[in-house]
Amino acid sequence: MDKDKYFFGTRLAHRLDYYAFLRSGSHFLWNSFTGLFDLVFFENEFVNDEEAMQRQEELEPMALYALKLRSDTVPYQPVYINAAPNGLHGQPQDGPHPTIILIRDPYASIYSLYLTACERWGLKIDDTVVWIKENFNLYRKFYDKAFQLYEDNPEKVLIVRFELLKATHEELQKIVDFIDVTPKLNSEYVYWWTRFDRITKDGERTFYRSGNNDFWKEDKAWREALEKAEVGEFSKFGYSNNE
């Protein structure tokens, strides 16, 4: 809406919905959002989430500071991105607002979830094969809905691939163009600061592990369980079987 068409205040916030499957790179992307946009939020149950704060402790303070800067020439433009429009990591659903959906290779996502669940959250898994089947099915259900939303309304839905976020600043620029605002910091600058080896602290990390999609291939026991699980193929989402 043109600012001459409303009567109070000086800016209308851009409002969007956001969906992402577990361990698909959300915290990585949200740090990029912090660099690109003047993010605003309402009070909610996740504001003081202990685990989210612990994740930030694995990141370099200088990088986080750099992402909070802004260009003097860019006017302030609030952007509200609802991170849980259908509950935390809820299934994608159609709504009145533009929607960003983050996706990642299922083999990398599920293995990362497995490691985090076991090593960070202390989950005890009695049958790894059954666990793998269940979580790959959840992944497939999530992405079936995500791609259906995109096919139904491609102008309203943006699917962002984690792999492309790591590869080039152009994926960040796609997000900027989709939201249609002038970023407070340009996408190349934000991309530079969010490189995995630059934004993470040295040493052992339980959340920001490596960002390596092939890490699961080094785990022989996992590969054997994965083969027994017969999870099927995911080419319709743009991912191979990773053999």
CATH of the domain at 29: 3.40.50.300
Residue 117 inside a domain? The answer is yes
- Structural domain for 118, as ranges: 12-231
* pTM, two decimal places: 0.88
Return the pLDDT at 63: 93
Q: Return the structure tokens found at 230.
A: 């017969």
Residue 239 inside a domain? The answer is no
Return the pLDDT at 72: 93
> Other C-beta atoms within 10 Å of 61: how many?
10
Residue 208 inside a domain? The answer is yes
Residue 163 inside a domain? The answer is yes
* Amino acid at position 28, single letter: F
Buried b (16+ CB within 10 A) or exposed e, 173-197: bbbbebbebebbbbbebbbebbeee
Backbone angles phi, psi at 215, to 5 degrees: -60, -35
Chain mean position to CA 233: 22
Residue 238 inside a domain? The answer is no
Full pLDDT tens readout for the chain, 243 residues: 455 555 556 678 899 999 998 888 888 899 999 999 999 988 766 666 666 666 778 889 999 999 999 999 999 999 999 998 887 778 999 999 999 999 999 998 999 888 888 877 778 888 999 999 999 999 999 999 999 999 999 999 999 999 999 899 999 999 999 999 999 999 999 999 998 888 887 766 655 555 678 888 888 999 999 999 999 888 889 887 655
How many domains, in total, are found in the chain? 1
Return the pLDDT at 52: 62
The CA dihedral of 142, 128, 29, 19, to the nearest 10 degrees, is: 20
Residue 160 inside a domain? The answer is yes
Residue 38 inside a domain? The answer is yes
Residue 243 inside a domain? The answer is no
Return the pLDDT at 123: 80
